A and B are shown apart, each in its own frame.
Chain A
Amino acid sequence: MKLTEHFQYGLTSPICLTWELTYACNLACVHCLSSSGRRDPRELSTEECKHVVDELRRMQVFYVNIGGGEPTVRPDFWELLDYSVDHNVGVKFSTNGVKLDLCRARRLARTDYVDVQISLDGATESVNDAVRGPGSYATALRALANLAEAGFHRPKISVVMTRHNVGQLDEFAALAAKFGAQLRITRLRPSGRGADVWDELRPTACQQRELYDWLVARGEEVLTGDSFFHLSAYGSPLPGLNLCGAGRVVCLIDPVGDVYACPFAIHEDFLAGNVRSVGGFEAVWRDSELFARLRRPRTGGACRPCGYYSSCQGGCMAAKFFTGLPLDGPDPECVRGFGEQALAARSPDAVIPRSEVDHSRRGPVPVALASPRRRQERR
């Protein structure tokens, strides 16, 4: 049996665990997959977070991808990072760079077992700031410069591919080279606020091809988070796991401890449990009914007759769900064109699911960090 066939039945523990530490964020990116902005008052406490780390250690989850929100705005972020690393749970964290001054960069450079990903969605200020907000390009580049000066080894520049930046791939690669960083590119999903801008920001069909060709040519040096496996139906599979890992090798722990099948699926339909419940995260991972269902082999549904199903496996579950498409049919961005057909065939009164979990801030958003005492508004 090939490894991907084993993976479809799920693993003892996740390989790729994303843990969003807070919904608070100093930015308000238009495509935020977790609709972040305001801190949730039910956020896991420092002690609860440490308990989760203890569990991950016992389960031999060797590293965790920490994000948010902006994780570094948690006052206990650095304490939790040290705790995790000291307990053999390595940390890769995603940040917009707001807290990465030279002093912090130097400390990180001395910490073994930490990876840093700086989010940047344009190789130029205008393309980036249109999506991530004014000042965010300068903030990200300052963080990269600080990491470079501190001698931090190979941070990542993490880019969500949009209609406005596919044409900048070479510029991103040059930027990465300039800062001694590695480029990581991921797919824009119609999740969170991404649903609001998906139609206008998603790469065109022509750009998808351009992206695929670029990955085939340069893929060895670029990380993708395995997020472009739906493009494998163009021909040869891309490097990495060409399979939806949701609930099988992938999952998300959100800031309030809710466990979802994947970071792009923050919706009650994909909620497996909560780490605060009896048995903790381990019980959720091993025993949840949702995950058991996701670990059953799939037949391909409407995609079964397509000769490319074995390459793309029907694509991304979250992308289908949040565009109102059936989960056993084509991905909305299916490169054979079946997704466009399916989108066009949606009934005009079909209800497109939307997450109830929304921490977006109302009103103008300061790029500078809001005071932690900021009044918490609930929706």
Chain B
Amino acid sequence: MSTSGEEAERSFDPARAYRRSRRVALRPEPFGALAYHFGTHKLSFLKTPQLVAVVTSLEQHPDVYAAMEQAGVDQTQRPAYLRALADLAEAGTIEPRLEESGDS
């Protein structure tokens, strides 16, 4: 990942495009999913099925707001979801999508 990507990672900006990290695997669980980062060896928990839907669909949306909209996250819940997503960005579970980067 480029230096600008690492900087963006530190400051979560829901107006930008994100994706689930390529090094993160999700394991479905009754509460949502367990996320494992193969690079950092860190486990994180996606505590609702809706959060799982947001994380897995980030890639298809121009920004985080659109992913929450499509996943049907209730307006009142959105601040909590943004906090959870900021934590996931800090843990590297999700990362900014750099449109110019051609990695797959």
Contacts and interface: CB of A to CB of B under 8 A. Distances in A.
Interface of A: 1, 3, 6, 9, 11-13, 15, 60, 62-63, 88, 90, 113, 115
A12 B28 contact: yes
Interface of B: 25, 27-31, 34, 36, 38, 41, 43, 45, 47
Task: Tell which of B27, B28, B45 has the most Cβ of chain A within 10 Å.
Answer: B27
A88 B38 contact: yes
A1 B43 CA distance: 19
A1 B34 CA distance: 16
A60 B33 CA distance: 11
Given A11-B29, A62-B36, A62-B43, 8 more contacts: A3-B45, A11-B30, A12-B27, A12-B30, A13-B27, A88-B38, A90-B41, A113-B41
B31 A3 contact: yes
Contacts of A90: 38, 41
Given A88-B38, A113-B38, A1 B27 contact: no
A6 B31 contact: yes
Contacts, number: 35
B28 A3 contact: no
B102 to A, nearest CB: 24
7 contacts: A11-B30, A12-B28, A15-B34, A62-B27, A88-B25, A113-B38, A115-B41
Report, nearest first, the 5 A-B pairs whose CB atoms are least far apart. A60-B27, A62-B36, A6-B31, A11-B29, A12-B29
Nearest to A11: B29
Nearest to B26: A60
B43 A15 contact: yes
Contacts of B34: 11, 15, 60
Nearest to A12: B29
A90 B38 CA distance: 9
Given A3-B47, A113-B38, A60 B31 contact: no
A9 B38 CA distance: 26
A60 B24 CA distance: 12
B29 A6 contact: yes
A195 to B, nearest CB: 32
Contacts of B43: 15, 62
Contacts of B45: 3
Contacts of B31: 1, 3, 6
A60 B25 contact: yes
A113 B38 CA distance: 8
A233 to B, nearest CB: 25
Contacts of B41: 63, 90, 113, 115
